[in-house]
């Protein structure tokens, strides 16, 4: 008899059947912090593309032109290095803050959280609070239900469309994008990405919500690796709360052998991922502290001390001392500091000029009628500055040579690149070897600081 092959989930499904979560509205310190975070972050997101700087959009990742503009800085594809360093810094910051304070990112700053918060707010305004929403969903379809649901989806879609439009506005100039959308003559790709991003917002914040965090987010899966016993987590004080049970406010819980948890289940109702924090730390917990806020209100009402559910650390729970400065934190902060300083330094000292020397590939060299050896070079000059410059080019050789530019002036417009041609001629008797080094120095005529040096080779006949 063949034995059934072992599978990971023989009898119980790894994934539970999805039940809709209706997070209850919550007020309190952490809810206020989150709403502030939402307003600030979304404010930045929706406002930044409209901000003007020197007659152009201040922040524009101009994909069609292959230039990134951030205020006075212009980045070219060759500057990808900076983007890579910025991404590494962002990743390390995430590690640092996770080790220090758990899932701060998830609870307060993640776009999924932020947009879901807005969608929940719209839903609450239209369908009412948690109980009304549950009732409405259970009720059979009626005119009133249909109207409410349609209104909700309409507003969600309008909000998503604005979000998608703003997103594309980071990549193509937003004022022109707005005009062409008004006249409905957007390019096909702009249409596509606006609709794509809008649909993603609508789907993720309206429908998927906590499932994105639980099933789709890679960070949610590996964040626990950054946790240690000193990391800030949200935890229920089991020793104080258990045994849980309902009671009258006037009763002394001790006389009935009860702990401080009155088992009101509000902590479960406010949870956006629908877990019970009293069961301990779970990977579904995004650290939003909604349960902390609501439990503290209940504790206040009961006249019990607050923080039955609170931000704490494993060490604090076990009655040990919490250490903030530990090797992990020190190493993360040092690396982070080092990278940030290096990035700022290299950006500050960055010379917005690039020179590429390309030797003529068709012939290694040419012999002139007067018997001189001539090499031809194509020079690609990229002016990454925000103003137009004229440049001077000097070629230094170890042998006697005649250097000449085909063009009379080397002028490159701001943010443009130009192609120029230069020739170097030398008497063959002067050449010591077949290949000689040439140093090209390009300097701006109006600013001697603006200078780059590149080396090339001068090729002569075999000796």
Partner 1 sequence: MEAGAEFIGGVEVQNNVPVIQKLIAVLWPSFLTAGVATILFFTAFDPQLIMSVSGYGTVSRLGGYTIGFFLFWILTAGSCALTCYFQRPCSTRQD
Binding site for partner 1 (CB under 8 A): 2, 4-5, 7, 9-15, 63-66, 77, 80, 83, 171-172, 187-190, 192-193, 215-216, 218
Q: How far is the CB of 4 from partner 1 (least distance, A)?
A: 6
Q: How far is the CB of 10 from partner 1 (least distance, A)?
A: 5
Q: Closer to partner 1 at the Cβ: 91 or 243?
A: 91
Q: Closer to partner 1 at the Cβ: 2 or 448?
A: 2
Residue 109: what are its φ and ψ, rounded to 5°?
A: -120, -20
Q: Closer to partner 1 at the Cβ: 77 or 369?
A: 77
Between strands 401-405 and 410-412, the pairing is unpaired
Q: Closer to partner 1 at the Cβ: 214 or 294?
A: 214
C-alpha 105/C-alpha 158 separation (Å) is 27
Q: How far is the CB of 216 from partner 1 (least distance, A)?
A: 5
- Using CA atoms of 66, 88, 93, 198 in order, give the dihedral in degrees to the nearest 10: 40
Beta bridge partners of 441: 394, 453
Residue 367, classed as helix, strand or coil, is strand
Q: Closer to partner 1 at the Cβ: 368 or 419?
A: 419
Q: How far is the CB of 132 from partner 1 (least distance, A)?
A: 28
C-alpha 323/C-alpha 325 separation (Å) is 6
Q: Closer to partner 1 at the Cβ: 9 or 255?
A: 9
**Residue 235: in which H helix or E strand, if any?**
strand 233-236
Q: Closer to partner 1 at the Cβ: 7 or 183?
A: 7
Q: How far is the CB of 246 from partner 1 (least distance, A)?
A: 37
Q: Closer to partner 1 at the Cβ: 388 or 419?
A: 419
Contact 454, 425 (CB under 8 A): no
C-alpha 286/C-alpha 105 separation (Å) is 9
Q: How far is the CB of 78 from partner 1 (least distance, A)?
A: 9
Contact 302, 253 (CB under 8 A): no
Residue with tokens 């209104």: 151
Q: Closer to partner 1 at the Cβ: 171 or 304?
A: 171
C-alpha 288/C-alpha 423 separation (Å) is 66
Q: How far is the CB of 238 from partner 1 (least distance, A)?
A: 32
Q: Closer to partner 1 at the Cβ: 119 or 171?
A: 171
| CA pseudo-torsion sign 325, 329, 331, 333 | negative
Separation of CA 360 from chain center: 43
Q: Closer to partner 1 at the Cβ: 203 or 280?
A: 203
Token pair belonging to 190: 């702009």
Q: How far is the CB of 68 from partner 1 (least distance, A)?
A: 11
Q: How open is the CA angle 362-368-373, to the nearest 5 degrees? A: 70
Residue with tokens 């012939």: 363
Q: How far is the CB of 354 from partner 1 (least distance, A)?
A: 15
Beta bridge partners of 236: 309
C-alpha 306/C-alpha 420 separation (Å) is 74
Q: How far is the CB of 196 from partner 1 (least distance, A)?
A: 9
Between strands 56-57 and 73-75, the pairing is unpaired
> Across the chain, how many H-helices and E-strands are there?
15, 16
Longest C-alpha distance within the chain, in Å?
114
C-alpha 70/C-alpha 77 separation (Å) is 14
Q: Could you tell me which residues come within 8 angstroms of residue 98 by beta carbon, excluding any fewer than 6 positions away?
A: 104, 105, 223, 226, 227, 231
Q: Closer to partner 1 at the Cβ: 63 or 320?
A: 63
Q: How far is the CB of 149 from partner 1 (least distance, A)?
A: 22
Beta bridge partners of 310: 235
Q: How far is the CB of 307 from partner 1 (least distance, A)?
A: 37
């Amino acid at each position: 008899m063949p034995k059934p092959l072992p599978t990971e989930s023989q009898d119980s499904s790894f994934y539970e059947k999805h039940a809709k979560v209706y997070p209850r509205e919550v007020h309190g310190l952490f809810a206020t912090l989150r709403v502030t975070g939402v307003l600030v972050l979304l404010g930045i997101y929706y406002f930044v593309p409209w901000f003007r700087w020197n007659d152009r959009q201040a922040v524009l990742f101009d994909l069609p032109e292959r230039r990134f503009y951030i205020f006075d800085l212009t980045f070219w594809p060759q500057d990808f290095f900076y983007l890579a360093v910025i991404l590494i810094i962002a990743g390390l910051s995430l590690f640092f803050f996770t080790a220090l304070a758990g899932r701060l990112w998830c609870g307060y700053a993640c776009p999924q959280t932020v947009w879901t918060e807005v969608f929940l707010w719209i839903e609450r305004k239209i369908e009412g609070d948690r109980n009304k929403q549950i009732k409405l969903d259970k009720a059979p379809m009626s005119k009133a239900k249909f109207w409410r649901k349609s209104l909700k989806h309409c507003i969600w879609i309008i909000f998503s469309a604005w979000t998608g439009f703003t997103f594309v506005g980071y990549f193509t100039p937003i004022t022109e994008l707005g005009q062409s959308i008004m006249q409905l003559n957007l390019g096909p790709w702009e249409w596509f990405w606006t609709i794509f991003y809008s649909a993603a917002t609508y789907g993720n914040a309206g429908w998927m919500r906590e499932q994105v965090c639980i099933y789709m987010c890679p960070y949610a899966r590996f964040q626990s690796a950054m946790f240690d016993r000193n990391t800030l987590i949200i935890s229920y004080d089991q020793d104080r709360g258990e045994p849980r049970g309902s009671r009258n406010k006037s009763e002394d819980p001790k006389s009935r052998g009860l702990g401080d948890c009155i088992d009101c289940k509000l902590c479960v109702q406010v949870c956006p991922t629908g877990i019970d924090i009293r069961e301990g730390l779970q990977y579904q917990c995004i650290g939003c502290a909604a349960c902390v806020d609501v439990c503290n209100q209940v504790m206040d009402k009961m006249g019990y001390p607050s923080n039955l559910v609170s931000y704490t650390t494993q060490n604090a729970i076990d009655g040990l001392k919490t250490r903030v400065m530990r090797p992990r934190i020190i190493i993360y902060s040092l690396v982070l500091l080092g990278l940030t300083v290096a990035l700022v330094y290299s950006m500050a000292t960055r010379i917005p000029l690039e020179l590429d020397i390309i030797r003529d590939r068709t012939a290694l060299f040419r012999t002139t009628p007067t018997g001189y050896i001539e090499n031809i070079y194509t020079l690609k000059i990229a002016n990454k500055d925000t103003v137009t410059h004229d440049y001077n080019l000097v070629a230094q050789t170890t042998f006697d040579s005649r250097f000449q530019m085909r063009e009379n002036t080397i002028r490159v417009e701001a943010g443009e690149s130009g192609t120029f041609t230069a020739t170097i001629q030398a008497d063959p008797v002067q050449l010591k070897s077949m290949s000689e080094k040439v140093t090209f120095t390009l300097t701006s005529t109006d600013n001697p600081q603006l200078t780059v040096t590149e080396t090339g080779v001068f090729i002569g006949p075999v000796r």
